[in-house]
Amino acid sequence: MTQTRKALSLENLETRQIDPTKPLLEVDGLVMHYKIKAGEVSAIEDVSFTVHQGEAVGLVGESGCGKTSVALSLLRLLPSNANYLAGEIRFDGEDLLSLSGEEMRQRRWKDIAMVFQGAMNSWNPVYRVGDQIRETLDTHYRGVMTYDEQRKHMERLFSSVGLPGEMLDRYPHEFSGGMRQRAVIAMALACSPELIIADEPTTALDVIVQDQILKELKRIQLEMGMSMIYISHDIAVIAEVTDSIGVMYAGKMVEYGPTKAVFSRPRHPYTYLLLRSTPSITGPRRQLAPLEGEPPDLLNPPAGCRFHPRCPFATEQCKTEDPPWVDLGDGHKVACFDYQRVPALDEALQR
């Protein structure tokens, strides 16, 4: 089944058709290491996932697990010491890792845009916000719109995220934290990309503003038929806005599947423990179970399953062998030898 995408874009851009069964982004066996003086940091190790047209996918895990490195890989914005060792990143069938620097530059913001973590750092403090958004339009659509048409387009963008158009003439320091984040979202929408990556989009915002920003992102995604990737260390945030979720640990993806399936019946010990350590305002009262230990040093990651030093279900096999992916059906899969031993979350919550 296809649906028409509502374009919040330049008026003469073609209206796209959305097919929810068709992959838009395919990450296949991606391996990326950072070269530093002490050696190589195994930041991304054999990561694979797919984002379909109109789908929202979440990447969740502790700080340093590789979520942002994956996001920056999609845009080819990693620092010079990053080294891709294997894998492909296919966007609409085209391998982004094979493109030249100029070819990739033409796809940023126009095809794939990003809402970066830390809204204040996303803006140049000495230029008005509107001028910075206009620069994005000029890069990809120079000559398509007059100055006045650009202004009207940017005012529509601001209106779509709940900001008055006159704020375009202000400097970043004149915006509150929530307003800066909304303005970042507006800039990401400027060229009507097919995919938006939101990296910790609500960091440092109070819970009320967080909720507002997430609802705005979800509304815009649904109205425009965009695909989105949400990145967060907060598994509860991911639950609200995604269709599918990938759980990452120490540079590897350990569980992937429909969000409802992963949350209702986690099959990897790490996912299970993350959910047990997350407070909830619904359901019966329960004692939170903290996730013991620390993530491994990715300069020298442990052999076998990288989670085994912290895993309550680990066996000798887990210490020496890398677990393969197990297909659980309906798109749910897990990388664990003993996923059957992971109890149902409902049972655990009663303890």
DSSP 59-120: EE-STTSSHHHHHHHHHT---TTEEEEEEEEEETTEEGGGS-HHHHHHHBTTTEEEE-SSGG
Q: Tell whether the model's pLDDT for residue 4 goes beyond 80.
A: no
Closest CA to 74 of 111, 45, 46: 111
Report the share of the chain in percent with pLDDT over 90: 64
Could you give the C-alpha distances from 313 to 3, 272, 322, 325, 342, in angstroms and in order? 45, 11, 15, 17, 8
Which pLDDT band, with edges at 50, 70 and 90, does 285 fall under? Answer: low
- Looking at residue 214, its pLDDT comes to 86
Mean pLDDT of the chain: 88
- Looking at residue 281, its pLDDT comes to 56
* Among the ranges given (20-34, 43-57, 165-179, 197-211), the one the predictor scored with the smallest mean pLDDT: 197-211
Which pLDDT band, with edges at 50, 70 and 90, does 187 fall under? Answer: very high
Q: Give the ranges where the chain is alpha helix by DSSP (H).
A: 67-75, 101-107, 129-141, 147-160, 177-189, 207-224, 235-241, 259-264, 269-276, 316-320, 345-349
* 229-260 pLDDT, tens digit each: 999 988 888 888 999 999 999 999 999 999 99
Higher-pLDDT residue of 248 and 219 is 248
- Looking at residue 350, its pLDDT comes to 38
- Looking at residue 141, its pLDDT comes to 81
- Looking at residue 316, its pLDDT comes to 96
Domains annotated for the chain, with CATH where assigned, are: 1-6+51-76+97-242 (3.40.50.300)
Closest CA to 187 of 125, 128, 134: 134
Asked if 272 and 349 count as a contact pair (C-beta separation under 8 A), the reply is: no
* 287-310 pLDDT, tens digit each: 677 788 899 999 999 999 999 999
- Looking at residue 17, its pLDDT comes to 76
* 100-139 pLDDT, tens digit each: 999 999 899 899 999 987 766 788 999 999 999 999 898 8
Could you give the C-alpha distances from 266 to 46, 245, 253, 309, in angstroms and in order? 21, 11, 14, 19
Could you give the C-alpha distances from 151 to 137, 156, 165, 167, 283, in angstroms and in order? 11, 9, 9, 12, 49
Residues 6+ apart with CB under 8 A from 5: 15, 16, 17, 18, 224, 225, 226
Which pLDDT band, with edges at 50, 70 and 90, does 140 fall under? Answer: confident
- Looking at residue 326, its pLDDT comes to 97
* Among the ranges given (24-28, 214-218, 224-228, 245-249), the one the predictor scored with the smallest mean pLDDT: 214-218
- Looking at residue 160, its pLDDT comes to 87
Closest CA to 265 of 334, 185, 187, 196: 334
Which pLDDT band, with edges at 50, 70 and 90, does 348 fall under? Answer: very low
73, amino acid identity: S
Question: What is the maximal distance between C-alpha atoms in the chain?
Answer: 68
